[in-house]
C-alpha cells in the first residue's frame, strides 16, 4: 500500500504549481495518496510553515511523507534534505522549515538542557532518526528548473520514497539540520510568565507559545497590548469580547467571539503576552 504524501507550500491555489507537483508524483507512483495540508502559507514565511506542520503531522498514518516547500533560497546552494524518523519522513529545504519537528523529537528522544531560545543554528539530527542531503540527480525530474525544485526534485523523490526506496538512496548522510530558535515562555522579575504570539490563524485568533500546562491551577489573567483578560475560557463561544482559550493544539489562544483578535488589538506575530498568576503577591 502506498504511503501518504502531504504538501505544505506557499504556492496558493490560483496557479498550477501545486498541480504540477501532484502530476509528477502520480506519474511515478499512480497509487500515491496525496493530502494538502496548506498552500496558504504567507509567501516565504518559513516560520509559519514550520508551525503549521508541527500542528498537523502527528495526525497522519505511520510512515507518512511530509513535503514542505517554502523556499526563498531556491536555486542557491542551500541543501535539500530528508529527515526520516521512526514515525514519519520529512522533505524540505534546509532553511528552518523542520524546526518545530526537530525540537519535538529532541524533547522526546534526547531531552536538552538548553531551552529553545538558546538553540544554535545547527541542531544535531535527533537520536533514532536519519537525515540525508538530496544529491542523487538520477532521481530528479529533468530538466531541473532553478526556481521550481518542489516539482523537479522534491516531488519525484517523495514519489520514490512512497514506494519504499531507502532514504540513503537519495543522497549523503548528514549529522545536523538548520533550525531557528523555538521561543519558550520565561519568568520575568515579578515571577509572571512571559510569552509571545507565534501564529495568527485565518480567524484572527492569536496563538501564543503558552501550553495548557503553563496556566496556573489557581487561575490567571492574560495581558497583551495594555489589554487584560481576567481568566481563561473553556471554549470560544463563552462570553463576549476578548477571551483566552486553550485551542485544539493545546496552545493558549486569544480570540474575539464573532471577530478577529488580531484586528481588534492590532497584534502581530512576536508580540509579548503575559500570564499573571493570581497566587503571586
Q: Which H or E element spans position 158? A: helix 155-162
pLDDT in tens, 95-143: 999 999 999 998 775 444 344 444 447 889 999 999 999 999 999 999 9
- At residue 46, what are phi and psi to the nearest 5 degrees? -60, -40
Give CA–CA dist 52/41, Å, rounded: 9
Read off the C-alpha cell for 95: 532553511
Q: Reduce the DSSP state of residue 219 to 3 states and report it.
A: coil
pLDDT greater than 70 at residue 242: yes
The CATH number of 186-277, from 3.40.50.300, 1.10.10.10, 2.40.30.90, 3.30.310.50, is 2.40.30.90
**This prediction's pTM:** 0.90
pLDDT of residue 234: 62
Give CA–CA dist 200/112, Å, rounded: 28
Q: Reduce the DSSP state of residue 135 to 3 states and report it.
A: coil
Give CA–CA dist 256/267, Å, rounded: 13
Give CA–CA dist 262/202, Å, rounded: 10
Give CA–CA dist 106/101, Å, rounded: 9
Assign a CATH topology to domain 4-178.
Answer: Rossmann fold (3.40.50)
pLDDT in tens, 179-225: 998 889 999 998 899 999 999 999 999 999 999 999 888 668 999 99
| Least confident window among 52-61, 108-117, 160-169, 228-237 | 108-117
In the chain, list all ranges with CATH 3.40.50.10790.
Answer: 4-178
pLDDT in tens, 28-47: 999 999 999 999 999 999 99
| Mean pLDDT of all residues in 155-174 | 97
Amino acid at each position: 500500500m502506498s504511503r501518504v504524501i502531504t504538501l505544505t507550500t506557499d504556492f496558493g491555489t490560483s496557479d498550477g504549481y501545486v498541480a504540477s507537483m501532484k502530476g509528477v508524483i502520480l506519474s511515478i507512483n499512480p497509487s500515491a495518496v496525496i493530502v494538502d495540508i496548506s498552500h496558504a502559507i504567507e509567501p516565504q514565511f518559513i516560520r509559519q510553515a514550520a508551525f503549521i506542520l508541527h500542528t498537523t503531522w502527528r495526525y497522519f498514518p505511520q510512515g507518512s511523507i511530509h513535503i514542505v516547500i517554502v523556499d526563498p533560497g531556491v536555486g542557491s546552494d542551500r541543501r535539500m534534505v530528508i529527515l526520516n524518523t521512526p514515525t514519519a519522513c520529512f522533505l524540505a529545504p534546509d532553511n528552518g522549515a523542520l524546526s518545530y519537528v526537530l525540537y519535538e523529537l529532541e524533547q522526546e528522544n534526547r531531552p536538552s538542557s538548553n531551552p529553545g531560545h538558546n538553540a544554535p543554528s545547527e541542531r544535531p539530527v535527533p537520536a533514532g532518526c536519519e537525515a540525508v542531503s538530496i544529491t542523487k540527480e538520477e532521481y530528479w525530474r529533468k530538466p531541473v528548473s532553478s526556481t521550481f525544485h518542489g516539482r523537479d526534485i522534491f516531488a519525484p523523490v517523495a514519489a520514490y520514497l512512497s514506494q519504499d526506496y531507502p532514504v540513503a538512496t537519495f543522497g549523503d548522510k548528514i549529522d545536523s539540520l538548520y533550525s531557528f530558535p523555538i521561543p519558550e515562555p520565561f519568568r520575568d522579575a515579578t515571577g509572571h510568565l512571559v510569552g509571545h504570539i507565534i501564529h495568527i490563524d485565518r480567524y484572527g485568533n492569536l496563538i501564543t507559545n503558552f501550553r495548557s500546562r503553563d496556566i496556573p491551577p489557581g487561575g490567571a489573567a492574560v495581558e497583551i497590548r495594555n489589554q487584560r483578560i481576567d481568566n481563561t475560557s473553556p471554549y470560544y463561544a463563552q462570553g463576549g469580547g476578548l477571551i483566552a482559550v486553550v485551542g485544539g493544539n493545546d496552545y493558549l489562544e486569544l480570540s474575539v467571539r464573532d471577530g478577529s483578535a488580531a484586528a481588534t488589538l492590532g497584534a502581530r506575530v512576536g508580540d509579548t503576552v503575559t500570564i499573571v498568576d493570581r497566587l503571586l503577591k
